[in-house]
């Protein structure tokens, strides 16, 4: 088992490019991570990484060994999955990621019930509105809003989530009610942007009479946290685009009101993304089925998909 753990640590160091990052990923210390890689190098009789005080790069032997190491770990995962299916007693740790709004409202509340049904599974839930590299972060499953760009992942569509443009009455009173997407641009409305480092120039795609059209919007604030944007909108600082389920309570109470209703946003796809090497893992299948059923039920509730 120690040898397998050493290989697993080597793979995470290779993928993350950092001993300390791999240590955090594997929930141990950098000293332990370094020791495991050192033990593996001693066993193999070759150096796997060139280390300096400022950088860590794989050697040519490290590059060669990485592909073989992945095959070893994938073979173990597949063997465990076969046994799990045979015994119907799923065990192990499941690493899951999700956007903040989805995670807080539609996933996290159901994790305890999933654990009650599957006591052998430990779940690690990571929430972030940033773009996530599923493979590099060692995830088994990631819930995703929007189009899929990484063809190395298997996508399972869970639901289409209607979206809305909305703002606080105080903002409308101060700036006026935009009737459509063109007004957002021409009248220079303050649009609250969900952005993070590396994101491209922001545009909103809205449905017009002639079909989908992109509008280049701007605003005084942006954040990589969708709930921060909702808070700014509630405080009257601008217009926000959100899945309706995230702001349904505020729409019902009147704290937020729909804007530019003649050009609504298109629904956004909510999907579960899985690395191909995890497709036969029963833990992934069980959790995806469990959460998908509850998300669909929540979105079907009155007021969850219409303002």
* Residue 34, domain CATH: 1.10.10.10
* Residue 109, domain CATH: 3.40.190.10
Mean pLDDT score of the chain: 86
Q: CA separation (Å) from 48 to 19, 44, 64, 68, 117?
A: 13, 9, 9, 13, 42
Q: Kindly state whether residue 306 falls inside one of the protein's structural domains.
A: no
Specify the pLDDT at position 151: 62
Q: What is the number of helices (H) and of strands (E) in the chain?
A: 11, 14
Q: Kindly state whether residue 78 falls inside one of the protein's structural domains.
A: yes
Would you say 101 and 244 are in contact if contact means Cβ atoms under 8 Å apart?
no
Q: Kindly state whether residue 253 falls inside one of the protein's structural domains.
A: yes
Indicate whether 216 and 296 sit together in one domain. no
Q: Give pLDDT tens digits for 212-264.
A: 999 998 888 888 888 999 999 999 999 999 999 899 999 999 999 999 999 99
Indicate whether 262 and 169 sit together in one domain. yes
Q: H or E element: which one contains 291?
A: helix 282-300
Would you say 10 and 46 are in contact if contact means Cβ atoms under 8 Å apart?
no
Q: Kindly state whether residue 80 falls inside one of the protein's structural domains.
A: yes
Indicate whether 116 and 172 sit together in one domain. no
Q: Give pLDDT tens digits for 24-58.
A: 878 888 888 889 999 988 898 999 998 877 778 89
Indicate whether 187 and 202 sit together in one domain. yes
Would you say 156 and 182 are in contact if contact means Cβ atoms under 8 Å apart?
no
Q: How far apart are CA 149 and CA 246, in angstroms?
A: 24
Would you say 246 and 105 are in contact if contact means Cβ atoms under 8 Å apart?
yes
Indicate whether 141 and 279 sit together in one domain. yes
- At residue 196 the predicted structure's pLDDT band, cuts being 50, 70 and 90, is low
Q: Kindly state whether residue 38 falls inside one of the protein's structural domains.
A: yes
Higher pLDDT pick, 79 / 225:
225
Specify the pLDDT at position 68: 87
Specify the pLDDT at position 84: 60
Residues in the chain: 307
Residue 204 in tokens: 């909103």
Q: How far apart are CA 262 and CA 206, in angstroms?
A: 9
Indicate whether 179 and 234 sit together in one domain. yes
Would you say 83 and 228 are in contact if contact means Cβ atoms under 8 Å apart?
no
Closest CA to 293 of 117, 163, 158, 124: 158
Q: What are phi and psi of 281, to 5 degrees?
A: -80, 115
Q: How far apart are CA 25 and CA 42, in angstroms?
A: 23
What is the model's pTM? 0.67
Q: Which of 29, 60, 85 is the last residue of a domain?
A: 85
Closest CA to 265 of 224, 208, 303: 208
Indicate whether 134 and 229 sit together in one domain. no
Residue 75 in tokens: 């073979």
Q: Kindly state whether residue 305 falls inside one of the protein's structural domains.
A: no
Q: Which of 51, 85, 119 is the last residue of a domain?
A: 85
Q: Kindly state whether residue 54 falls inside one of the protein's structural domains.
A: yes
Given a cut of 80, whether residue 210 has pLDDT beyond it is yes
Specify the pLDDT at position 292: 94
Indicate whether 214 and 65 sit together in one domain. no
Residue 73 in tokens: 């770990």
Q: CA separation (Å) from 53 to 18, 19, 24, 32, 40?
A: 11, 12, 19, 17, 21
Indicate whether 112 and 134 sit together in one domain. yes
Closest CA to 251 of 298, 207, 300, 302: 302
Mean pLDDT of the 87-97 span: 81
Indicate whether 175 and 252 sit together in one domain. yes
Q: Kindly state whether residue 307 falls inside one of the protein's structural domains.
A: no
Indicate whether 273 and 262 sit together in one domain. no
Would you say 128 and 99 are in contact if contact means Cβ atoms under 8 Å apart?
yes
The domain total for the chain is: 3
Domain, as residue range, for 93: 89-159+269-300
Q: Which of 57, 85, 113 is the last residue of a domain?
A: 85
Residue 159 in tokens: 């639901």
Indicate whether 73 and 104 sit together in one domain. no
Q: How far apart are CA 114 and CA 286, in angstroms?
A: 9
């Amino acid at each position: 088992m120690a040898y397998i753990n050493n290989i697993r640590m080597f793979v995470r160091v290779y993928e993350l490019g950092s001993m300390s990052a791999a240590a955090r990923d594997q929930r141990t210390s950098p000293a332990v991570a370094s020791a495991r890689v050192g033990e593996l190098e001693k066993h193999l009789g070759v150096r796997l990484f060139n280390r300096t005080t400022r950088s860590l790069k794989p050697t040519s032997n490290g590059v060669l060994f990485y592909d073989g190491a992945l095959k070893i770990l994938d073979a173990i995962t597949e063997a465990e999955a076969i046994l799990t299916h045979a015994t119907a007693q799923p065990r192990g740790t499941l690493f899951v990621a999700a956007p903040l709004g989805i995670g807080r409202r539609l996933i996290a509340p159901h994790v305890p019930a999933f654990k009650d049904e599957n006591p052998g599974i430990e779940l690690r839930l990571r929430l972030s509105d940033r773009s996530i590299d599923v493979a590099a972060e060692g995830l088994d499953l990631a819930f995703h809003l929007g189009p899929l760009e990484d063809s190395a992942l298997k996508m399972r569509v869970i639901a289409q989530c209607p979206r809305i443009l909305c703002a606080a009455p105080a903002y409308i009173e101060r700036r006026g009610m935009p009737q459509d997407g063109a007004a957002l641009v021409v009248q220079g409305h303050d649009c609250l942007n969900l952005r993070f480092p590396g994101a491209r120039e922001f545009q909103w795609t809205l449905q017009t009479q002639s079909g989908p059209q992109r509008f280049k919007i701007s605003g005084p604030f942006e954040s990589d946290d969708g709930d921060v944007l909702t808070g700014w909108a509630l405080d009257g600082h601008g217009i926000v685009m959100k899945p309706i389920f995230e702001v349904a309570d505020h729409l019902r109470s009147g704290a937020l009101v729909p804007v530019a209703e003649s050009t609504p946003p298109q629904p956004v796809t909510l999907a579960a993304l899985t690395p191909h090497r995890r497709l036969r893992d029963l833990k992934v299948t069980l959790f995806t089925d469990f959460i998908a059923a509850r998300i669909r039920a929540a979105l079907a509730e009155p007021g969850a998909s219409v303002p």
